[in-house]
Amino acid sequence: MHFSHFETATLHHNPALTGLFNGDIRFATHHKTQWIPVVPYMALSASAESKLLEGKIKKGVLAGGLVLNYDKAGKSELSNMQINASLAYAVQLHSTLFLSAGFQAGMGQRSFNFTNLSFDNQYNGDIYDPNRSTGEQFSKTNIIYPDVSGGVNLFYRKSDRFYFNIGTALYHVNTPNYSFLEDDEVKLPHRLVHYITGVFKVHSRWDLMPALLYQEQGTLEELASEFVIGVNARFYFNTQPSKEMALRIGAFNRLNDAFIVKLGAEFRDFQLGLSYDINTSPFVAATQRRGGPEVALVYTIKKVKSPQNVKICPVF
């Protein structure tokens, strides 16, 4: 499960990013489909996060969040749903440098539907007969498992338009068993994530927003990995506080898999992102370069603070 707008799918890539945004409460959702003409894949992520105990913790910032991930693939409708709660704590190392650590825990559910599948036992020698027995025994088609993850993040912030994050996270630390068979053991392997994201003001109305992501999952014998790199350019039509309006355009490359084009808009506390993956892998023989679209929507709530609660040097 992966997103082209990984810069805003923060809780999917590191629990330590919980609460690292300019505001008080943030909601985000991502929806991606790919390879629909060949074999359909769908992924959905929704998250909410908020600062906690503001004004009561002098040496740092505590934040909590909740993230729901769901994906479904193929004719078997093999699906995986994860609901996790995040908790992160950030401390100030320097006037512009912050270190945060995050923890995520919850439950996962894995299921499939075999009614749309065909098996060799259903061929009677001449034709396929869906009424014939499949010859397969499925003791269960749905399982639930615990899930634990954690990560760290280094955050440098000079201003709202000059900052960057460097972080790493390890998902599925407990490698839970998610086999559908009673007497079998199939471990959900670790997912290791590394990334760098940033915003750099280059003009009164222009920002460059480079980003890099590397993640891998599995064993050395069966390792799945992806490396994504690219940049967004943001142009501001209005930079006045609470009236910000901007347009983004970007180009990214998921090496040996897809070229990604992005378009986004920002208006006050809303961010909308659209992207399309143009398939470049050997699978292009089947997809005809049709990768898939993705939509990302982020909404941030910024509460008005009373004068006595405003810090001299706000953390984020």
Helix (H) or strand (E) holding 285: helix 284-287
Residue 135's pLDDT is 79
pLDDT reported for residue 312 = 46
DSSP assignments along 140-207, one per residue: -SEEEEEEEEEEEEEEEEEETTEEEEEEEEEE-TT--B--SSTT---B---EEEEEEEEEEE-SSSEE
What pLDDT was estimated at residue 304? 65
Please give the structure tokens belonging to residue 252: 């990214």
Question: What's the token pair of residue 82?
Answer: 């994860």
List per-residue pLDDT tens for the chain, 316 residues long: 889 999 999 999 999 999 999 899 999 999 999 877 777 889 999 999 999 987 777 778 999 999 999 999 888 889 999 999 999 999 999 889 999 999 999 999 999 988 778 888 888 888 888 888 887 877 788 999 999 999 999 999 999 899 999 999 999 999 999 888 877 888 999 999 999 999 999 999 999 999 999 999 988 788 999 999 999 999 999 999 888 999 999 999 999 999 999 999 999 999 999 999 998 887 776 667 777 899 999 999 987 654 544 454 455 5
Cβ-based neighbours of 104, under 8 Å, separated by 6 or more: 11, 15, 67, 84, 85, 86, 87, 147, 148, 149, 150, 171
Q: What is the pTM of this model?
A: 0.88
Name the 3-class secondary structure at 36: coil
CA 272 to chain centre: 15
* Whole-number pLDDT of residue 53: 83
Q: Which fold has domain 10-113+139-309?
A: Porin (2.40.160)
Q: Which residues of 146-170 are buried (b: 16+ CB within 10 A; e: fewer)?
A: ebbbbbbbbbebeeebebbbebbbb
- Cβ neighbors of 125 (< 8 A, separation 6 or more) are none
Domain ranges, ordered by start, for the chain:
10-113+139-309
Q: Which helix (H) or strand (E) holds 284?
A: helix 284-287
